[in-house]
Amino acid sequence: MRLNTKKYFEEAKKLGLEPYQLSYSVSTEASVEVFNGEVEQQQIGSAQDIGAKGMFEGNQGSFSTDAIDNLTPAFMASKVLESAKFGKEANADDYFKGGKKYKKAKTALKEFKPATLKELREFALDLCKEVKSRDSRLAKVSIDVTMQTSESMKANSYGMKCSDKMTYFFGYISVVAEDEKGEPRSGGKSFSSAKSLEDLKNHAYDAIDEAVHSAVDFFGTGPCKSKTYKTVLSRGSLGSLLRFFLGQLNAKSVQKHLSLFEGKKGSQIVSKLLTMKNLPHVTSPSSSSYDADGYPTQDFTFIKNGVLEDYFYSVETANVENRESNGCCIGNGNGYPTQVAIKPGRYDLDSLFAKIKNGLYITSVSGLNSGINGQTLDFSLPCEGYIIKDGKKAGALSMMVMAGNLQNLFNSIIAVGNDIDPEQAKFIPSVAIKGLAVSGK
């Protein structure tokens, strides 16, 4: 990846833009889509994008484009200047000046072995055939497989410069099943590999049963009785809810008095069974060596045994408190962890079922963007899953709504599972909840 950053900074300086920051990325993808045993689409493509932000007379402007040629440096600077004239006030000190060491994220392993488009196609066709053979009720089976290579870079006129590379395989099994009445049920499961197509195959075949059962198990199902249940939340369900909960730990929200956890550092805010870390350098496609400021990402514990140890800072919010950023900027001064990891407990999934004895196993939640109040953390969300009877997973359930408050939910965790899967970049386990209100029939 080559970009003449010097030329961009020279054009910005001519117009009085200082400081000036660039973000550049380029990616190549080989992808195949198979539907019911036929190749629907296959392609190899590349894309690039460059963005810039800069300050002029105390205001900040920005611009981005995917058209990059010899004229781009001057054109981009003029657009940033135009934007800055009507932009928001900013502080030049909120631009990271560099001088820190970067720890490389494990997003491009040395053992990565690329595959040809033909190999991706043959794998997708074989996988589709295998999935289709698992259940006669599968009417539609779609397989998507992608090999992606990307490079990214940030640099600014203060001298900060950092870069990352990612090489990864991604896949998704999508199914639609129909019962004897023609009632459709859909399901799916993702899988990935940072190593090779052969490794991707192993994870794909492990994912088939879950993809199929996520559809066929729910024919003719309905809700449970409305009441409060002991509940096991699947790792996927917990991860979905956690995204909204952790948004409250954004240092910018805390400083603007918009967070429920303002002034709670050093206090217990969740169950003592929960220890959460930011691990931005593990093998995962979402890992990164630097944040949106270009500041080095950090490995740190932000909740230990339920106690809040730190918020998520950008350079901007760190400056407000005269401290160092912890490398969590996601843009506009906001903070969020790069890769969340919950310390696993001692229970496998069957042991979690045995612990609650009778209750529910929630496998999916929906309506997250409209069903969670970002300020109060109250929620009301459609969900589905299974009944737990005598410590065993029993019949499937659907058309239910779970309700409560996320702060209360995370405080009511009574057991933490050990079903994390670092191979698939899954660092959040299933948990048992002592009480969850569910509306059904």
Stretch 60-75: mean pLDDT? 96
- For the cut 60, the answer to whether the pLDDT of residue 229 exceeds it is yes
Identify whether residues 51 and 140 lie together within a single domain.
yes
Identify whether residues 212 and 232 lie together within a single domain.
no
Stretch 225-250: mean pLDDT? 97
Can you give the pLDDT at residue 176? 97
- Cite the DSSP H helix spans in 273-338: 315-320
Q: Is the four-CA dihedral 310, 313, 315, 318 of positive or negative sign?
A: negative
Identify whether residues 225 and 209 lie together within a single domain.
no
Identify whether residues 182 and 250 lie together within a single domain.
no
> Structure tokens of 260?
């429920």
Identify whether residues 201 and 305 lie together within a single domain.
no
Identify whether residues 237 and 197 lie together within a single domain.
no
- Cite the DSSP H helix spans in 86-196: 117-133
Identify whether residues 434 and 336 lie together within a single domain.
yes
Q: How many of the other CB atoms lie within 10 Å of CB of 95?
A: 24
3-state class of 221 per DSSP? coil
Cα separation, 122 vs 200, whole angstroms: 13
- Count how many domains the chain has: 2
Overall residue count recorded for the chain in this entry: 441
pLDDT in tens, 292-341: 999 999 999 999 999 999 999 999 999 999 999 999 999 999 999 999 99
Can you give the pLDDT at residue 314? 98
Q: Amino acid identity of 207?
A: A
Cα separation, 129 vs 284, whole angstroms: 29
pLDDT in tens, 177-216: 998 888 999 999 999 999 999 999 999 999 999 999 999 9
Q: How confident is the model at residue 3 (pLDDT cuts 50, 70, 90)?
A: confident
Identify whether residues 249 and 330 lie together within a single domain.
yes
**Residue 75 near residue 12 (C-beta atoms within 8 A):** no
Q: Please identify which residue in the block is written with the tokens 């200047």.
A: 81
Q: How many CA atoms lie within 13 A of 78 on its CB side?
A: 5
Number of H helices, E strands in the chain: 10, 19
Q: How confident is the model at residue 283 (pLDDT cuts 50, 70, 90)?
A: very high
**Containing structural domain, residue 359:** 221-441
Could you say which of 154, 185, 216 is where a domain stops? 216
pLDDT in tens, 72-108: 999 999 999 999 999 999 999 999 999 999 999 999 9
- For the cut 60, the answer to whether the pLDDT of residue 413 exceeds it is yes
Q: Please identify which residue in the block is written with the tokens 């024919």.
A: 219
Identify whether residues 250 and 340 lie together within a single domain.
yes
Q: How confident is the model at residue 263 (pLDDT cuts 50, 70, 90)?
A: very high
- For the cut 80, the answer to whether the pLDDT of residue 2 exceeds it is no
CATH of the domain at 31: 3.30.2290.10
Can you give the pLDDT at residue 247? 96
Could you say which of 199, 216, 233 is where a domain stops? 216
Can you give the pLDDT at residue 290? 98
For the chain, report the end-to-end CA distance as a whole number of angstroms: 58
Q: How confident is the model at residue 1 (pLDDT cuts 50, 70, 90)?
A: low
Could you say which of 183, 216, 249 is where a domain stops? 216
**Residue 56 near residue 16 (C-beta atoms within 8 A):** yes
What is the radius of gyration, based on Cα positions, of the chain?
A: 24
* CB neighbour list of residue 54: distance below 8 Å, 6 or more residues apart: 12, 17, 18, 19, 20, 21, 60, 61, 62, 77, 80, 81, 84
* CB neighbour list of residue 255: distance below 8 Å, 6 or more residues apart: 317, 320, 321
Identify whether residues 307 and 434 lie together within a single domain.
yes
Cα separation, 134 vs 216, whole angstroms: 11
Cα separation, 157 vs 12, whole angstroms: 9
pLDDT in tens, 371-386: 999 899 999 999 999 9
Cα separation, 48 vs 72, whole angstroms: 13
3-state class of 375 per DSSP? coil
Under DSSP, the state recorded for 290 is B
Identify whether residues 252 and 204 lie together within a single domain.
no
- The C-alpha torsion from 73 through 79 and 83 to 85, rounded to 10°, is 90
Can you give the pLDDT at residue 180? 87
Can you give the pLDDT at residue 410? 98
Average pLDDT of the chain, as a whole number: 96
Q: Amino acid identity of 395?
A: G
Q: Amino acid identity of 421?
A: D
pLDDT in tens, 4-60: 899 999 999 999 999 999 999 999 999 999 999 999 999 999 999 999 999 999 999
Identify whether residues 272 and 195 lie together within a single domain.
no
Stretch 434-440: mean pLDDT? 95
Stretch 117-121: mean pLDDT? 98
